[in-house]
Structure 1
Amino acid sequence: MMIEIKKLKKVYNGVTVVNVPQLEIKQGESIGLVGNNGAGKTTLFRMILDLIRPESGEVLSKGNKVAGAEDWKSYTASYLDEGFLIDYLTPEEYLYFIGGLHEQTNAQVDEHLATLTDFFNGEILKKGKYIRDLSKGNQCKVGVGACLLQKPQLLMLDEPFANIDPSTQFRLKNILKDQNKNHGVTTIVSSHDLNHITDVCERILLMEKGVIIKDIATSSSTLADLEEYFGVGQTIPANTPIIDEEENH
């Protein structure tokens, strides 16, 4: 099991913003997290990454508690927002720094970055800009590039499609599919874009007011079901397939 959540609860100013009694994410699954603003998606991400502590409950990564531990960080890569970057560095400096943390030489980093040429689209490297001077979309590219550099077993991205152009969205989707299908990476991605999330993820978690109200296996009807939930009446049809706990991806 890659991630296991037990009785996890986070409260701000007397309001419960996340309440997940139980959730299991197997190794190699591709998970999409959807929900309106304020649903608790980012808060859940931050608890999984031990960036904030819950009022109660726990998150386990490969069977071990993440809170206060270090082991899980060696196989986990994440980009939630530009706060994850060191903005007074150039992209090259930052990527070499991240590579160095993972015992990679600059030459090895360069070799990896060559595989991201299309994704970077000539906008990231050798531009003489600091990360703080890049657009949010290009900052996202740096963050995702740094994640991939780490060759993670678990990859977590919060709203990665939000600020990037359509060509980059297409390339990122292909990268995520490749990481999951060909490298066995467990991916957890949140997005407001229902088309992207149903295209990339085999399992969708729908959050509302801190609660995962649906846990569904992606099928040909999933996109329409989600559009109906967000567009009309906010109800998912009763016949929406619930993921089989015994099913392995």
Structure 2
Amino acid sequence: MIEIKNLKKIYNGVTVVNVPGLVINKGETIGLVGNNGAGKTTLFRMILDLIRADSGEVLSKGVNVAESEEWKRYTASYLDEGFLIDYLTPEEYFYFIGSFSDLSKAHTDAELSRYTDFFNGEILQRNKYIRDLSKGNQCKVGVVSCLLQNPEVLMLDEPFANIDPSTQIRLKNMLKQLNAERHTTTIVSSHDLSHVTDVCQRILLMEKGKIIKDIRTDSNTRDELEEYFSVMQ
């Protein structure tokens, strides 16, 4: 589904991403973990063609993302609140996003009804602009706007960071259900080892721009990661 070949990004003489090769298969749920400055967000942005590589390439369904717009049709991402149109209400934003998939307002409303528990009465019909919502609620808007697109590839950068524990559990269940029902290829970046090992089938550990571990998730994965980060301290 996604293949990376000899991907490298250098800032001011410092290599921030250096991934010689990586294959993410269709339907996999991938967790990307690492300390601050490990290169996770830069890699995310390179996969989404928001940052151009100094060398190498990212292929989505075999096509270089820097040379085609086709991958955008089936890819949805939420990196942070800066990607939202914050002068709209959540409803206006959802209708806007839904229009790209030819969803009518009625169809969009029907889809949104599936996320009533996730919204917890804090998003819809509150007469607030997105900019006036908390970061956690902005994250909810961003995540659901991705799901409205029914993507084949879903990318979420730190989706658990600003939401409360109940919402974290709901989000994990949503991601598991998405994988089980739609076989969506999902990449989640997170500092929370518990959440990422609970949701993801495979963990990529980044350090200084390199993927130094590629682990199939099992009952020992969290302990292995915690041991690594304890040593790093």
TM-score bin, normalised by smaller chain: over 0.9
Q: Write out per-residue CA displacement over residues 178-219 of structure 1, whole angstroms, 9 at most, x where no aligned residue.
A: 111111101100100000000000100000010000001001
Cross-structure match for 2:218: 219
1:33 Cα deviation from its structure 2 partner: 0.2
Consecutive unaligned residues of structure 2, counting only runs of 5 or more, are none
Q: Which amino acid aligns with 2:109?
A: D
Q: How does 1:85-96 map to 2 (within 5 A)?
A: 85-96=84-95
CA–CA distance in structure 1, aligned partners of residues 69 and 120 of structure 2: 34
**Cα RMSD, aligned residues only:** 0.9
Q: Report SS of the residue matched to 1:116.
A: helix
Q: Report SS of the residue matched to 2:66.
A: coil
Identity of aligned residues (%): 74
Cross-structure match for 2:191: 192
Cα distance change on mapping 1:16 and 1:87 into 2, 3 Å:
same
Q: Report SS of the residue matched to 2:173.
A: helix
Q: Write out per-residue CA displacement over residues 138-167 of structure 1, whole angstroms, 9 at most, x where no aligned residue.
A: 000000010000000110000000000000
Q: How does 1:1-249 map to 2 (within 5 A)?
A: 2-231=1-230, 233-234=231-232
1:68 Cα deviation from its structure 2 partner: 3.8
CA–CA distance in structure 1, aligned partners of residues 25 and 34 of structure 2: 22
Q: Write out per-residue CA displacement over residues 15-41 of structure 1, whole angstroms, 9 at most, x where no aligned residue.
A: 100000000000000100000000000
Q: Which amino acid aligns with 1:66?
A: V
Consecutive unaligned residues of structure 1, counting only runs of 5 or more, are 236-249
CA–CA distance in structure 2, aligned partners of residues 96 and 34 of structure 1: 33
- Number of matched pairs: 233
CA–CA distance in structure 2, aligned partners of residues 127 and 203 of structure 1: 38
**TM-score of the aligned structures, taking structure 1 as reference length:** 0.92
Q: Write out per-residue CA displacement over residues 86-126 of structure 1, whole angstroms, 9 at most, x where no aligned residue.
A: 00000000000000011110111000000000011100000
- Tell me if structure 2 keeps the 8 A contact 1:50–1:68: no
Q: Which amino acid aligns with 1:198?
A: T
